[in-house]
Structure 1
Amino acid sequence: MSRLSIDRLHVGYGSTGVLTDICIDIEAGEILVVVGPSGCGKSTLLRTLAGLLTPTSGQILVDGRPITGTSGERALVFQDDGLLRWRSVRRNVELPLAIRKVSKAERQTRAEQWISQVGLKGYENHLPRELSGGMRQRVQLARTLAGTPRVVLADEPFGALDAQTRTTMQRLLVDVWQQHPTTVVFVTHDVDEALFLGDRVAVLGKNGRLKTVIESPAARIPDADSKAARTEILGAVAA
């Protein structure tokens, strides 16, 4: 697990500013969920945290060290599962380990452990086209965590799933996170998802500024009363 410290972060494309003066600390092992209107910079924030974008000014520290580029310690998870269609489930999960030149025997052992962890035991040799959308997202989660990242950066990974599958994936993520704690920054448009998953919910405004950060009263508690927090978040998003 790593602690992230975002200090006066500005990010832009050319002369266009996207994120402005973002300041927030994300504790090791915390799930921070980021919400906001389309185009407010949520995905830009994740890509900057991943080291794919360079800040215009300000800085991001990981355990006190500035981000200077990409790192296997920070893993991105997307709405598009990004699986290699010609590789089996097992070989997709092995991919980050293969890149790091982990031995074949260890790759297979760790891949099978994670495949079982996400509930896909028996599907090791299936190709992505033989799986449902929810199953492919399970493979993506297993592949991400097999690489043992200290920070997971998730960009609306469940956004394309139907409601029932989405709920299942939310609970799976929580189960896995509780057994294998890591720091998570999770972007979503769904306020209920944000309140269920996040210890805190950060709201970005249309101008790319951080408007508010709200403690979630419903973090990992199914059917918890979060009406007041939900109203506060929706009000901040709409303002």
Structure 2
Amino acid sequence: MMLIEDLSVGYRETPVLRGIDLKIEAGEILVLVGGSGCGKSTVLRTLAGLHRPSGGTISLDGQPIARTSAERALVFQEDGLLPWRSVRRNVELPLAIRGVSKSSRRSQALSWIERVGLGGYADHLPRELSGGMRQRVQLARTLASGPRVILADEPFGALDAQTRRAMQLLLVDVWSQQPTTIVFVTHDVDEAVFLGDRVAVLGGKPTGIRSIVDVPFPRGDGDNSAARAEILAALGSTQ
């Protein structure tokens, strides 16, 4: 469980976030939405330990978060794959850094490559893959590292609509097999209600939480028009 209490962050004495309070349960997918430049990515980077808060505290299972850690993995729009390494060797990378034996990291990498639907592509280079396939590799690499929390910063934002939905379905499927706490940033309200257990709407200057919306249906299921309308209303109130 991640606990954020009265979190404030600023840059060069300019406040960006103020008074953020959130309790994120283990295995929950919490989605952050808000206008461009409202500080969604700053929240993620602070949770990752890349920014130092100017006030408040963040803890994971009661332990303060003060620096970066492999137990909190950041995922970006840009896949960050190393172009000279094959799919398998990209997925192996965090395991190699941890000192996992060559045979073990190879078998783990191949297993994750299969689970994200890229069986048969283990020896391909990133340049030989589509954008959606590259994001699948990034997801496999992230999950192979065994993080307790995934911090996803609009990872599907650059994909076309069809590929984006396929990646959303893949994330739901992988999560159902291995529930991991996920904090997911998006500007897309439909994506928020499709993926999230709860949606936190950010807004204001400096940014705070304007509303937290519970999504009343299982992710990927049901008519979430009521949750969507509530989020859009909250977004409108932040302008």
Shorter-chain TM-score: what band?
over 0.9
The match for 1:216 is 215
Aligned partners of 2:172 and 2:220 also within 8 Å: no
SS in structure 2 at match of 1:221: coil
| One of 114, 129, 137 as aligned partner of 1:116 | 114
Deviations 1:136-190 (A, max 9, x none): 0000000000000000000000000000100000000010011011100000001
1:68 is displaced (CA, Å) by 1.2
Q: Which residue of 1 aligns with 2:13?
A: 15
Alignment length (residue pairs): 236
> After superposition, what is the alpha-carbon deviation per residue over 1:172-230, rounded to whole angstroms, capped at 9, x for unaligned?
001001101110000000101100100000000032110010001244133x2222211
The amino acid across from 1:71 in the alignment is S
- Out of 47, 50, 62, the residue aligned to residue 49 of structure 1 is 47
- 1:231 deviates by 1.4
The whole-number CA distance in structure 2 between the counterparts of 1:49 and 1:136 is 25
1:117 Cα deviation from its structure 2 partner:
0.4
Amino acid paired to 2:57: Q
Q: Which amino acid aligns with 1:154?
A: A
Task: State, as a whole percentage, how many aligned pairs show the same letter.
Answer: 68
Aligned to 2:182: 184
| Equivalent-residue separation in structure 2 for 1:218 and 1:49 (angstroms) | 27
Aligned equivalent of 2:81, options 75, 79, 83: 83
- Give me the whole-angstrom Cα distance separating, in 1, the residues matched to 2:121 and 2:179: 25
2-side partners of 1:178 and 1:226: how far apart?
20
CA shift, 1:101, in A, is: 1.1
* Counterparts of 1:177 and 1:190, CA distance in 2: 20
Give the aligned partner of residue 144 of structure 2.
Answer: 146
Shift of 1:16: 1.0
The 5 Å alignment of 1:55-94 reads 55-94=53-92
Shift of 1:84: 0.5
Kept in 1: contact 2:200–2:209 (CA 8 A) = yes
Q: Are residues 214 and 232 of structure 1, via their aligned partners in 2, closer, same or farther at CA, if it must alter by over 3 Å? A: same
Q: Cα offset for 1:57?
A: 0.6
- Could you tell me how far 1:115 is from its partner in structure 2? 0.2
Partner of 2:226: 228
Match of 2:100 in 1: 102
- Provide the aligned C-alpha RMSD in A: 0.8
